[in-house]
Amino acid sequence: MRFQILHRSPGRLRLRACVSPMEPEQADLLEAWLLTQPEVDRVSVQEGICSVTVIYHGPAEPVTARLAAFTYERAAAELPPLHHSSRAMNREYKEKLVDMVLRHYLKKWFLPAQLRIALGICQSAPRILRALRILLSGRLTVDVLDGVAIGVSQFTGDFGTAASVSFLLRLGETLEEWTHKRSVDDLARSMALQVDSVWKLDADGRQTLVPLEKVAPGDCLMVHTGHVLPLDGILESGDVMLNQASLTGESVPVAKRPGSAVYAGSVVEEGNCVLRVTGSVGENRYDRIVKMIEDSERLKSGVERQAANLADRLVPWCLGGSLVTWLLTRNVARAVSVLMVDFSCALKLSMPLSVLSAMREAGNRKITVKGGKFLERISEADTVIFDKTGTLTKACPTVLRVVPFHGQDAPEMLRLAACLEEHFPHSVANAVVRAAHERGLDHEEMHSDVEYVVAHGIATRVDGKRTVIGSRHFVFEDEGVTILPADQPAFDALDQANSWLFLAVDGVLSAAIGILDPLRPEAGETLAALHAAGIGKTVMLTGDNRNTAAAIAELLGVDAFRAEVLPEDKAGFIRSEQAAGRTVVMIGDGINDTPALSLADVGIAVGSGATIAREVADVVIAAEDLRELVYLKRLSDALMRRIRQNYHFVMGFNGGLILLGALGVLPPAVSALLHNSSTLLLSLRSLTNLLGENHDQNNGKN
């Protein structure tokens, strides 16, 4: 397909597709395909003018070469079906708005006055009836203000004002609905763009790791302990305990047996199972996220709830002001002008839109924030707790050496370790699997069902012998593994400055696997930047020995550290900090971090970590850069500033409109127009970015 380059700057291309016209479905396909390309960060496609804007990293040549080779047929073959299109929604609302405006002015210009009045009464009747129902139920809301304003205008014979007010209200509500739906759709789309791999069962029962996009309804997937069900389906085999908190809000696990229907997002807390897929890829997760954003009151920030409550509390004052104005002036138009202005629309719309905008802005950085309240709490946070492995250290540790014991062969022990570890993705487990692959060691399935013990290790049976791999505590204390006297000198000589995995077969130590776990280069800088951004205390928690932990803590400059901790120890430390009145943020990446992530005021998971950690966490950072934490803190602070600014503007501007209406300066239609216009403009401002495009370069990385 041919594209014409209209403008080029470092990291940005604007092109025009040499095709006319471009259908919405084609624009969606082009945008989705470009987002899968490794050099591309963001894409905007305007189908009306066939314009394509690409934000990328690296040189421009690979991007232009890929575009030159693009075809719709190729993209359709490479991508899963696209179930949701914001373009269709945008077209629907544009047509609705145009139709609304045309009908209003055609009636005004061409219909006789009596017919216009009759149509106006019919159109406004549902609004007036709704206001009466709300009033009779003992509540006072903005619907009552609108209904009273239109009803009073009609009762006094001012049908022109009633028609104009009714039209402006419908227009404003449609624009607000469209704005809100676009925000939710953009946010859900950014949160849904997570590519996971799954274990697919072949016809002969072999497990193969495949991308989620390659899964079709009817396929069978193997889901292990600690993993998340990626799609809706039916349990073919296996009794499991499922945590369905992401669907129901209830964290108590539910027992599921073969034949039970299960849903995407549920976490397997105990057992393994075979899932027969019934849902389409992408559709379940998208719909679940949209429902979470729209319906979950527990995710709303305290500021949002306060704004909504304040808006409702101000309604009686607006009614009272209108009544006082009429009593003092005996002028119905002035009283109606006061009714035309309320604080509810602006407060109830601008506050959530500001939060949604911040969540979307974070999503553009591949930071998934699962609710507005978490941004508010990050802004309030004074303590940040880090897991070490995979968080403060690089997400891709490497195997330094394999030390065999009990007369075992080192390559064979590494092969066995990789066979066990490949089922439980964690940075250390990935290092073992990668080391076996680099050494050409094919690790065929040779064990029975694998049992994962959180924060300790893995146990299974190989050739009838119990085989375990994991931490020193798990292997030697929990499992009671022994070290042969002949192996003791070699064991004592292991360098304690490194991290070690221990492998035992039939109760005897068989190998120790040394792991090099280098620190992230930006870790120290991130800690310093968090302190500068207002975080008073940083803590590192690790299962490593105290000597290793102390050396790392000193190098990084953390305020405190805890060594040789278990998951319950991490959770206990968080409880103690919260009991001291601190607002705690926890950052981790492993299955062993999930209790702490759940307990913290805000749990943040590193995107390269375990699936269950990402599902349990309140925030997921996909980028391999801890400086995104600093960006998130600054984004949260900017959001709170915008919310306060919006609040002051709404109170000041609308208060001014009420005063001008009471004085007779503004007629009702003008009051309604200015009120709706200010609400819409404030909402549009709330949708703008809180931080600049290059904020990370200017602030987060210096």
Q: Where are the alpha helices (DSSP H) in 15-156?
A: 24-35, 61-68, 72-78, 86-110, 113-136, 142-155
Q: What is the mean pLDDT of the chain?
A: 80
Which pLDDT does position 586 carry in this prediction?
94
311 pLDDT band, cuts 50/70/90, is low
Phi-psi region of 678 (alpha: psi -120 to 50; beta: other; left: phi over 0): alpha
Helices and strands (DSSP H and E) totals, the chain: 25, 26
CA distances from 313 to 14, 345, 355 (A): 49, 13, 22
DSSP H/E element including 279: none
**pLDDT higher at 484 or 187:** 484
701 pLDDT band, cuts 50/70/90, is very low
Measured distance CA(172)–CA(675) in Å, rounded: 10
Question: Is the omega angle on the peptide bond into residue 21 within 30 degrees of 0, that is, cis?
Answer: yes
Q: Tell me the two tokens of residue 395.
A: 């997400």
Which pLDDT does position 207 carry in this prediction?
80
Q: Which residues of 500-530 are buried (b: 16+ CB within 10 A; e: fewer)?
A: bbbbbbeeebbbbbbbebeebebbbbbbebb
206 pLDDT band, cuts 50/70/90, is confident
Q: Which residue has the tokens 């609400």?
A: 679
How many Cβ atoms are within 10 Å of 48's Cβ, its own excluded? 11
- Per residue in 503-544, pLDDT tens? 999 999 999 999 887 888 899 999 999 999 999 999 999 877
**Percentage with pLDDT > 90 across the chain:** 16
195 pLDDT band, cuts 50/70/90, is very low
CA distances from 112 to 106, 155, 352 (A): 11, 20, 43
Measured distance CA(127)–CA(136) in Å, rounded: 14
End-to-end CA distance of the chain: 41
Residues counted in the chain? 702
Q: Tell me the two tokens of residue 453.
A: 């013990």
Measured distance CA(261)–CA(690) in Å, rounded: 42
The separation between CA 188 and the C-alpha centre of its own chain, rounded to angstroms, equals: 8
Which pLDDT does position 341 carry in this prediction?
67
Residue 302, SS3?
Answer: helix
Q: Tell me the two tokens of residue 132.
A: 């009466």
Measured distance CA(648)–CA(662) in Å, rounded: 21
Task: Give the up-direction half-sphere exposure of residue 252: CA atoms within 13 A in the CB hemisphere.
Answer: 0
Which superfamily does 398-516 belong to?
Calcium-transporting ATPase, cytoplasmic domain N (3.40.1110.10)
Which pLDDT does position 453 carry in this prediction?
64
Residue 231, SS3?
Answer: coil
The 3-state DSSP composition of the chain as helix, strand, coil percent (nearest 5) reads 50, 20, 30
- Which amino acid would we find at residue 682? L
- Residue 210 in contact with residue 198, Cβ under 8 Å? yes
How many Cβ atoms are within 10 Å of 600's Cβ, its own excluded? 29
DSSP H/E element including 331: none
Of the listed ranges 22-36, 178-192, 285-299, the least confidently predicted one is 285-299
How many Cβ atoms are within 10 Å of 654's Cβ, its own excluded? 24
Full DSSP string of 497-522: TSEEEEEEETTEEEEEEEEE-PBPTT
Q: Tell me the two tokens of residue 606.
A: 């590193």
Which pLDDT does position 584 carry in this prediction?
94
Q: Does domain 3-79 have CATH number 2.120.10.30?
A: no
- Per residue in 99-147, pLDDT tens? 888 988 888 888 888 898 898 888 889 888 988 898 888 877 767 777 7
The mean pLDDT of 672-684, rounded to a whole number, is 77
- Per residue in 552-602, pLDDT tens? 888 888 999 998 887 778 888 999 999 999 999 999 877 677 778 888 999
- Per residue in 420-467, pLDDT tens? 887 765 677 888 988 998 888 876 666 556 776 655 678 888 888 899
- Residue 24 in contact with residue 15, Cβ under 8 Å? no
**pLDDT higher at 513 or 614:** 513
Phi, psi of 17 (to 5 degrees): -75, 130
696 pLDDT band, cuts 50/70/90, is very low
Which pLDDT does position 484 carry in this prediction?
93
The mean pLDDT of 665-676, rounded to a whole number, is 77
Fold of 367-393+519-622: Rossmann fold (3.40.50)
Measured distance CA(323)–CA(332) in Å, rounded: 10
Helix axes 627-662, 372-380, angle to 10 degrees: 110
Question: From start to end of 214-312, where are the E strands?
Answer: 220-223, 233-237, 240-243, 254-256, 261-262, 267-270, 273-277
Handedness of CA 659, 660, 666, 672 (dihedral sign): negative
Q: Which long-range contacts (CB under 8 A, 24 or more apart) does 46-52 make?
A: 47/21, 47/22, 47/23, 47/87, 48/22, 49/16, 50/16, 50/17, 50/18, 50/19, 50/20, 50/21, 50/22, 51/6, 51/14, 51/15, 51/16, 51/17, 52/3, 52/13, 52/14, 52/15, 52/16, 52/17
- Per residue in 17-71, pLDDT tens? 887 778 888 888 888 888 888 888 888 888 878 889 999 888 888 888 888 888 8
Q: What is the CATH number of domain 216-280?
A: 2.70.150.10
**pLDDT higher at 364 or 235:** 235
- Residue 635 in contact with residue 375, Cβ under 8 Å? yes
Measured distance CA(129)–CA(123) in Å, rounded: 11
Which residues, in sequence order, are bridge partners of residue 584?
383
Domain residue ranges in the chain = 3-79, 90-189+298-348+637-695, 216-280, 367-393+519-622, 398-516
How many Cβ atoms are within 10 Å of 126's Cβ, its own excluded? 10
604 pLDDT band, cuts 50/70/90, is very high
